[in-house]
């Protein structure tokens, strides 16, 4: 018997994943917005977040969280990190025991600095928790372009079972048991995407972008391994792969934020014009706290934070990075 998939969240990536899983399993999506739900059910589209994209015809949607959660054999959380816990609490009364819960979020919870699987384990102990991550730009996947992702869970038997739900045509899903590394790679690369976006907006050039990406990888690997992630994870899809896609693409929300900052816009102006969440903006706060907690130097993240929250200019950020003393590339730092 095929598994039933429940997905919470009607944004671009949540809707994309729901459309993918609908090819392999009965899938129901939950969204608060009644217009979005009606559009998915009647026209197989979500024009607010995926203009021009046609969703799988078997995907259905509802505004009832109970309807989705109570019948699901696997629950997918397509909810931004700062709202993740509250929506999970809404789902809690309806979820059956031992149902796997998979996060799509790429961020850290402010205040607690927790990863999403940690929140799942805290709120719903006993439920296998995992993350689907990697270099995945929703609009490209909907247009039929090839992509790869990673499903990361401690229990590889469950991960392999769920792998088949997500695999679809040119969308290939691999497994990885390093949940810490996979989640941190997804969260930390968003800050680097803001940095490269700032460079693009200020017309800093491709050499600068290459330096930011490679030194950014070193930076996120230092913190990620200090927190328990495996170094090889950061060289794979959940690390380098996701970092390159997000830093290079104008379709990336975090790159967009950085680009607009580089063009001279204020953060408030940029956020007001967006209809989706750029996770790196909030994650930057948690990351600077973690860098202090683990005594890890993160100069790029620090300069991005100063631009976002301390009124520094993009020029000042790049000037500070240029002044940094360069040591051996093989040594930490």
Evaluate if residue 333 carries a pLDDT over 50: no
Of 4, 89, 189, 285, which is the active-site residue?
Answer: 189
CA pair distance 9, 31, nearest whole angstrom? 5
Evaluate if residue 325 carries a pLDDT over 80: no
Quick one: pLDDT at residue 1? 55
Any idea what DSSP says for residue 238? I
Mean pLDDT calculated for residue range 127-150: 92
Residues of the chain with pLDDT > 90, as a percent, come to 88
Evaluate if residue 163 carries a pLDDT over 50: yes
Q: Are 107 and 253 in contact (CB under 8 A)?
A: no
Give the confidence band of 315 by pLDDT, cuts at 50, 70, 90.
very high
Quick one: pLDDT at residue 141? 87
Topology classification of domain 183-323: 1.10.1040
CA pair distance 100, 52, nearest whole angstrom? 32
For domain 4-177, the question of CATH label 3.40.630.40 is answered with no
Place of tokens 């439920």: 127
Quick one: pLDDT at residue 332? 52
Alpha helices in the chain (DSSP H): 12-21, 34-43, 65-69, 81-91, 116-123, 138-142, 156-166, 179-201, 206-226, 242-248, 253-262, 267-273, 279-293, 299-309, 314-323
Evaluate if residue 138 carries a pLDDT over 90: no
Evaluate if residue 253 carries a pLDDT over 90: yes
Domain boundary assignment for the chain? 4-177, 183-323
Structure tokens at 289: 């706290």
Angle at 329 between CA 328 and CA 333, to 5 degrees: 80
Mean pLDDT calculated for residue range 166-183: 94
Size of the chain in residues: 333
Residue 189: active-site member: yes
How do strand 101-103 and strand 26-30 relate by DSSP bridges?
A: unpaired
Evaluate if residue 317 carries a pLDDT over 50: yes
CA torsion sign for 294, 295, 298, 304 is positive
Beta bridge partners of 136: none
Q: Are 8 and 91 in contact (CB under 8 A)?
A: yes
pLDDT in tens, 121-131: 999 999 999 99
Q: Are 99 and 75 in contact (CB under 8 A)?
A: yes
Evaluate if residue 286 carries a pLDDT over 50: yes
Q: How many CB atoms lie within 10 A of CB 282?
A: 19
Q: Are 15 and 46 in contact (CB under 8 A)?
A: yes
Cα–Cα distances (Å) from 193 to 2, 149, 198, 259, 301, in that order, read 38, 18, 8, 9, 10
Which residues neighbour 323 within 8 Å (Cβ) at sequence distance 6 or greater? none
Give the confidence band of 322 by pLDDT, cuts at 50, 70, 90.
confident
Q: Rg of the Cα trace of the chain?
A: 19
Q: Residue positions in the annotated binding site?
A: 9-14, 32, 49, 106, 134, 138, 189, 242, 252-254, 277, 279
Q: Residue positions in the annotated binding site for NAD(+)?
A: 9-14, 138, 253
Give the confidence band of 330 by pLDDT, cuts at 50, 70, 90.
low
Place of tokens 């816990």: 85
CA pair distance 44, 154, nearest whole angstrom? 35
Q: Are 65 and 90 in contact (CB under 8 A)?
A: yes
pLDDT in tens, 179-235: 999 999 999 999 999 999 999 999 999 999 999 999 999 999 999 999 999 999 999
Terminal CA-to-CA distance of the chain, rounded, Å? 52
Q: Residue positions in the annotated binding site for substrate?
A: 106, 253-254
pLDDT in tens, 6-42: 999 999 999 999 999 999 999 999 999 999 999 999 9
Assign residue 222 a region (left: φ > 0; alpha: ψ between -120 and 50; beta: otherwise): alpha
């Amino acid at each position: 018997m095929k598994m039933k998939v429940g997905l919470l969240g009607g944004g671009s990536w949540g809707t994309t994943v729901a459309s993918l899983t609908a090819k392999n399993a009965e899938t129901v999506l939950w969204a608060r917005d009644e217009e979005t739900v009606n559009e998915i059910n009647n026209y197989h589209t979500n024009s607010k977040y995926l203009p021009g994209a046609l969703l799988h015809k078997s995907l259905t949607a509802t505004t009832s969280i109970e309807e989705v959660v109570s019948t699901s054999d696997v629950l997918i959380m397509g909810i931004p990190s700062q709202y993740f816990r509250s929506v999970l609490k809404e789902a809690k009364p309806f979820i059956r025991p031992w149902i796997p819960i998979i996060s799509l979020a790429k961020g850290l919870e402010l205040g607690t600095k927790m990863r999403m699987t940690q929140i799942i384990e805290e709120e719903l102990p006993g439920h296998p928790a995992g993350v689907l991550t990697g270099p995945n730009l929703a609009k490209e996947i909907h247009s039929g372009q090839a992509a790869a992702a990673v499903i990361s869970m401690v229990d590889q038997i469950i991960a392999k079972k769920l792998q088949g739900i997500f695999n679809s045509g040119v969308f290939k899903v691999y497994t990885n048991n390093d949940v810490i590394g996979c989640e941190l790679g997804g969260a930390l690369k968003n800050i680097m995407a803001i940095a490269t976006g700032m460079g693009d907006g200020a017309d800093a050039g491709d050499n600068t972008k290459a330096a930011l990406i490679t030194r950014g990888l070193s930076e996120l690997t230092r913190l990620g391994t200090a927190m328990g992630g495996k170094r090889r994870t950061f060289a794979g899809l959940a690390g380098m792969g996701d970092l390159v896609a997000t830093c290079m693409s104008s379709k990336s929300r975090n790159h967009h934020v950085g680009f607009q900052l580089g063009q001279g816009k204020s953060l408030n102006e940029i956020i007001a014009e967006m209809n989706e969440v750029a996770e790196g903006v909030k994650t930057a706060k948690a990351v600077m706290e973690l860098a202090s907690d683990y005594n890890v130097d993160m100069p790029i993240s620090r300069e991005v934070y100063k631009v976002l929250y301390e009124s520094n200019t993009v020029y000042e950020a790049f000037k500070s990075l240029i002044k940094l003393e360069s040591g051996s590339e093989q040594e930490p730092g």
